[in-house]
Amino acid sequence: MAEPDLGGFHESVGRARQVLAVAAGGGADVRRLAREAAMPGWILSDDAARVPSQQVFRLWELAEHALGDPYAGLTAVRQNHVPGGMDLLKYLFSTAATLKDALQATSDYNYMSSTNGQLRVGSETSREITYSYTSALDGGRGEELYLQLIIAGYCRSMRAATVQPVIPVHVGFSQAAPASSYRQFADVLGTSRIDFGTPGTSVTFRMSDLELPMRGADPSLARILRQHAALLPVPPPPTWREHFHGLVIEAVKDGAPSLDALAGRLSVSRRTLQRQLAEHGTTWRAELDAARQRIAGRASRSGALDATGLARQLGYADPRSARRFLRRLPDQGQGQGQRQERRDDP
């Protein structure tokens, strides 16, 4: 099956430095790790550089192997390598009036650190807010370690910014549960209310905690920083193919992966979308299968493989349809992405 070109998603160079700092602290040869991740040395010395997301995920995999540490992302937080990657984004966080405002600033300007990941409000009540961290790519094991850093880093930063024991109400990781114990997760996150194998990565906080004032709150400076951030160039958007791939992933997760629905999202006709896909050397069926294969791969790693739940994640109403799809995955040939599908919809 033809895979989408995923080269348009990037992380700030600070994200790559975080991995290498953890690896160096454990005695690993960071120059070798960078070479194995195909990362040019000059990138690491350029504060303005952006690194392909897949290379950062590869670095995490290599670091885990070199250190023998399946909790490398948590280790990074223990060593105070919290997420960020740009001084401006850190200042936008620290000068906000409340924790809720700080997380909103992080969401608004997260592209300064990553064009792949996004912090969003998933659900909100008068008592709690759940934030989800979504990724455009499936970065495999490297992304799982990366998300350990992201979620644990937010929790650590929130406690430091308020000097209060901010404890998550609940944390969900899409990755599989640790083989032995998740005590290390509980120690860093501050809570034992952690689930693994969830559909996505999320963290829930009490509204009373989110309304806590920030120790470094500075309304005037925060306003100036936001004005400055708004004037900075936004990183180039992903290619059309990458954008479409992300929409297909969302449609599958929403349970409505149809060609007509995607054409509506893009404000084009069904025929126009088919023509655009053909111009990019792919088809609706190939893109839909690729999206489902990535979601199935994540579910397999997390252990979330009950038939009904997996069918729902793959956008099927019937578990039998999901099983038929999984049975034909090993038979997918290299040229399948170029074939014209017999049907347009699942």
Domains of the chain plus CATH, in order, are: 10-231 (3.90.1520), 240-338 (1.10.10.60)
Give me the percent of the chain exceeding a pLDDT of 70: 85
The confidence score (pLDDT) of residue 223 equals 94
Q: State pLDDT tens for residues 226-271.
A: 999 888 877 665 567 777 877 787 788 777 788 988 888 777 888 8
Q: State pLDDT tens for residues 202-216.
A: 999 999 999 999 999
The confidence score (pLDDT) of residue 312 equals 76
Out of 66-75, 224-233, 303-312, least confident range: 303-312
CA distances, 263 to each of 27, 241, 271, 337 (Å): 51, 14, 9, 19
The confidence score (pLDDT) of residue 263 equals 86
Q: Are 8 and 243 in contact (CB under 8 A)?
A: no
* Helical residues (DSSP H) of the chain, grouped into ranges: 13-25, 30-36, 41-44, 53-67, 72-78, 87-94, 99-108, 140-162, 183-189, 207-210, 219-231, 240-254, 259-265, 270-279, 284-302, 307-313, 319-328
- Would you place residue 318 in the very low, low, confident or very high pLDDT band (cuts 50, 70, 90)? confident
Instruction: Single out the residue of 214, 17, 233 nearest to residue 105, CA to CA.
Output: 214
Q: State pLDDT tens for residues 36-46.
A: 888 777 767 77
Largest CA distance in the chain: 61
- Would you place residue 336 in the very low, low, confident or very high pLDDT band (cuts 50, 70, 90)? very low
- In single-letter form, the type of residue at position 109 comes to Y
Check pLDDT > 90 for residue 150: yes
